[in-house]
Amino acid sequence: MASCQSEGNQQVQNLSNELLAEDTVNVSDTLSSEVRMEMEAAVVKDRVEGIYRIVKSIYMSHGGVVENEILDRCYCSKSWNKLLMAVRKREHQTNTLFFEIDHWSMTRKPCMVSFDEFEVFSLNLGEEMTASVTFTVYEDDTYTPAYVDLVYEDGRWVIDNFHDMKYMQDARQSMESYLKDDNMLM
């Protein structure tokens, strides 16, 4: 099992290297803001499609067993990872389990899953650059509409939240509620 996880870690790292370069458009001020928005939307869409192409590849090659923390470290924001670490600590302290569903695939068993129909539906290129991308998660007999929120951080677009639209779940909000729940035994 340890070698499988090690191979999985190496595969994630190898596949990730192509997506680690800066991924925003450096456009001269002479281009209109509309053109810049269109170009940046294409960059964001390509980024999310690339991430999920890697996620699918890893799920397929490992029968759906993936350490999501590796994907989180590679493709998610510092804020997401900090929140995730607080959740993991709380799980350990309370002997509870927060994640019942894989937040990357929106499923319980992501071995035969695919992702398609990516579309940027929100893009803000202000001081704090943010975006949201919708997509559909397909399993053998069902599908789940979903979207991710992204932030521009350290020269690249990274995922900052996951949303399952089938069950109206906001992963960040659920994690924050879990951490604030005073009914959990410490």
Strand partners, 133: 120, 148
Give the tens place of pLDDT for each residue, 18-52.
555 556 555 555 568 888 899 999 999 999 999 99
pLDDT at 70 over 80: yes
Instruction: Find the mean pLDDT for residues 69-87.
Output: 94
Domain ranges of the chain: 2-180
Mean pLDDT on 71-88? 95
124-176, pLDDT tens digit by residue?
Answer: 999 999 999 999 999 878 889 999 999 999 999 999 999 999 889 999 999 99
What are the pLDDT digits (tens) for 96-132? 878 767 888 887 665 678 899 999 999 999 999 999 9
Structure token pair of residue 33: 């803001």
End-to-end CA distance of the chain: 31
pLDDT of 92 reads 87
d(CA 161, CA 150): 7
- The SS3 call for residue 69 is helix
